[in-house]
Amino acid sequence: ASRSGRFLRLCEEWPVEETKRQRDLGSVLRQRVAQAFREGENTPISDPEACDQMYESLVRIHTNFYKNKYPRLKDTTFTGVTVEDCRVILATDILKQMEDMKKGTWKRLREKFSAKKPEEDLK
């Protein structure tokens, strides 16, 4: 199989996390593959060995190779946070809410009532 075909199949299999809009590995992988193989199978590859190594590394991540090779005793971190808790915390909407909470009251009010973007005030 061609290198571009293998990468495209991997992209199709790779799940997209909707809670991490444009920040998840699946989206980044799709963008990079599209960029790297603009000409499809006719794309010249400067370093085929490095390309194959990258593909194999991505396959290991996708298939949870190391997770299966080195199973954990518990599905939590030392803090007791579970995988699901981490997913919720890292969701784009939650991160945006946390960023909004960090802003001062005056800045939030200015943004709310100002027609201009706050970046324009800094000019």
pLDDT value at 120 more than 60: no
Residue 59 contacts residue 1 (beta carbons within 8 Å): no
**For the chain, which residues make up each domain, given as ranges?**
1-71, 73-116
3-state DSSP assignment of residue 82: strand
Which pLDDT does position 57 carry in this prediction?
96
If you average pLDDT over every residue of the chain, what do you get?
80
Q: Is the pLDDT higher at 101 or at 30?
A: 30
Give mean pLDDT, residues 62-87: 83
Question: What is the DSSP code string of 41-81?
Answer: GG---S-HHHHHHHHHHHHHHHTTHHHHHS--SSSB-TT--
Using the Cα atoms of residue 26, residue 29, residue 31 and residue 34 in order, give the sign of their dihedral.
Answer: negative
- pLDDT tens figures, 16-27: 777 776 778 888
> Region 75-103: what's the mean pLDDT?
72
Nearest residue to 26 via CA among 36, 35, 17, 37: 17
